[in-house]
Structure 1
């Protein structure tokens, strides 16, 4: 039976759930957006419970091994700061992060040769060489380690191994969530709930409208035993021979970005953000199971090929495959405002802007579900068209969105008002006080078109 065929149904009484925690703010999802939201809310004085289904924090950054933080600059200006910047600095301090300092950013072939294999180039640039910009390559366990430290220091109540099941509603207001755990069904109650699940699980369960999108799935992996100096030398000194082998490698994978391998902070370990698989739904159990099996087959076929053919990869071994499948797009909220591709590409600035990426802006309305109170959405599942989301779903802007969501939730609790009544100007003021840039002051070199709230 396939996912498109009718399934038989049985009656299932969910019964009761034990209330195990109450806090001002409940954040569901410990990925970059949820982590940022939890810390931001706690720094504003709210009590916070963070719920995560996996045994670690980090989401697709750590568990999905999306090991480059990019889309956080506008020319020479670093635009995504705040908790994201803190994370980068703290990972660098423990040897888990590498990025070009300001004096090493710019456009030249020397800079490109030094930094391109770290992923620190402007991937949207149309010129060659692509400019080297602020982007950070990091180690996934370094992310987990620093996340734990920052969450503990902030005083957030964390509940791992808790799989979201249902949104608790009082009328049209979210008041908590139910999780499935080894101890049975557990309830976590709060004044404001933040959906940072990436798939809009909480808002969808609450009845919020959404669209169902899809994009490529990826089984990300890392290889060890790679002589990166030899591999880079081969690519630079014998570009035609390298290009031939590179094309064959990409055919074996069935899809990848231009650079299928990048360097990491660990010597001899390279990051492979591939293979890509199309036509699969990140919400379908059958499809994501297929992706896991198919991805591993392609990975080991690739390793066999490059060990035999690619200089520098003769001793390559699979170190690990990301425990989380690389899912880029599933449910997208239809919120009070839906961000369009034109909004992103034209750098539209909104009167209620509360977060930003490189040179695009997120209005607070795009984080609020229609017809649902007590709930804020932060992350790649925010209210945007499929085309707009593909341009604005990178990790740093999702962290900026999370930081603003956490601040908004805390302000709602403190003011005893619903999140929808919180003013964007108040959110921006507090985000700036926390060291972030909510985008309320648009870049001087951006084309600004005000869209009123």
Structure 2
């Protein structure tokens, strides 16, 4: 008997569990903001998220600095993002430089750089301190929940997008896999905020696949950050030598492989960066998770033995979500170009703004 390579699935039925004007798939920063904004505009909204928390890579991926909020001239990222920052700060779970300290200064760089709140793209040294925010992942989850409840968004966690509902070439909803079986959620508008273009791709939209480094972010406790920084500034050459070794052991990272967090003695490490993994392939995702943890273990051993301030460090947690930067990209009616970014072109149908760029609706 020849082994089968495929099986036929029965269509079956999915119970309709929600109907709303807007359905958002994905509760990361983009999906969460879309859901809250739509509800504030008077739409009924259902937000679907596969994990048991909101925040996506901000919380689950532990990307714990909101940077690129300032373009050198002005703070360009505000709105719901700024609401999040201000609420987390009131809880003591977010840190950002006050307006009077957002400028270039060696003294201010020494005070703030390890928070990751400097202009990463500046061509001058030290890089100017700008509006950016270091936050706690559970602070993000907590404030997200508050805003969702206050807005009145219908939230369905633990719901894994499975299939798109299309009728007469129009998306009318989604089907999710849950512990209770398949469930259907209907909406007049469906927003794909999955991060991997899961919904649009399933509906037949054209897209381009790309790849980039993936990262297993983690946090360390028991770190004497004051001692570590005193060593860095007091013995710059020795620090640079040790730091270079650490980054070689981790197998890839930015210059600042550890940054401060709002929690005393706790740092977050935006590494290891790893190449050669397809973030749409289960096999590659599994290998990346294993490889990341191996590199983390090696770095911790090295840091305890060699990095001042880290002798008593320990792993608090490893991000439950792998840091994926690029998979599927929608082939929109318009593609934002390098020139658009460099010239900061504003489009008539702009719906989002970043550090140096505007995103037109046609690109979505």
TM-score (norm. length: structure 1): 0.79
Distance in structure 2 (CA, Å) of the matches to 1:339 and 1:13: 42
Residue 143 (1) aligns with residue 110 (2): no
Distance in structure 1 (CA, Å) of the matches to 2:332 and 2:167: 20
1:106 corresponds to which residue?
103
1:300 paired residue among 297, 305, 311? 297
- SS in structure 1 of the partner of residue 182 of structure 2: strand
Residue 362 (1) aligns with residue 363 (2): no
- SS in structure 2 of the partner of residue 129 of structure 1: coil
Superposed CA deviations along residues 279-321 of structure 1, whole A, max 9, x for unmatched, are 1111111111000000000001000001000000000000000
1:337 corresponds to which residue?
334
Alignment of 1:23-34 (within 5 A): 23-34=20-31
- SS in structure 2 of the partner of residue 59 of structure 1: coil
* RMSD (CA atoms): 0.9
Distance in structure 2 (CA, Å) of the matches to 1:297 and 1:149: 37
Distance in structure 2 (CA, Å) of the matches to 1:335 and 1:155: 31
The structure, 1 or 2, with the larger RCO (C-alpha pairs under 8 Å, 6+ apart) is 1
- SS in structure 2 of the partner of residue 89 of structure 1: helix
Distance in structure 2 (CA, Å) of the matches to 1:354 and 1:158: 24
CA shift for structure 1 position 86: 0.3
- SS in structure 2 of the partner of residue 350 of structure 1: coil
Superposed CA deviations along residues 193-219 of structure 1, whole A, max 9, x for unmatched, are 000000000000000000000100000
- SS in structure 2 of the partner of residue 60 of structure 1: coil
Residue 21 (1) aligns with residue 42 (2): no
Alignment of 1:29-428 (within 5 A): 29-367=26-364
CA shift for structure 1 position 240: 0.6
CA contact (8 A) 1:223 1:269 kept: yes
Distance in structure 2 (CA, Å) of the matches to 1:350 and 1:159: 34
Distance in structure 2 (CA, Å) of the matches to 1:304 and 1:15: 52
- SS in structure 2 of the partner of residue 61 of structure 1: coil
CA shift for structure 1 position 76: 4.2
CA shift for structure 1 position 221: 0.1
Distance in structure 2 (CA, Å) of the matches to 1:105 and 1:173: 48
Count of residues in Structure 1 that have an aligned counterpart in Structure 2: 361
- SS in structure 1 of the partner of residue 47 of structure 2: strand
CA contact (8 A) 1:112 1:132 kept: yes
Distance in structure 2 (CA, Å) of the matches to 1:76 and 1:111: 18
- SS in structure 2 of the partner of residue 194 of structure 1: strand
TM-score (norm. length: structure 2): 0.98
CA shift for structure 1 position 350: 1.7
Distance in structure 1 (CA, Å) of the matches to 2:238 and 2:107: 21
CA contact (8 A) 1:76 1:133 kept: no
Gaps of 5+ in 2: none
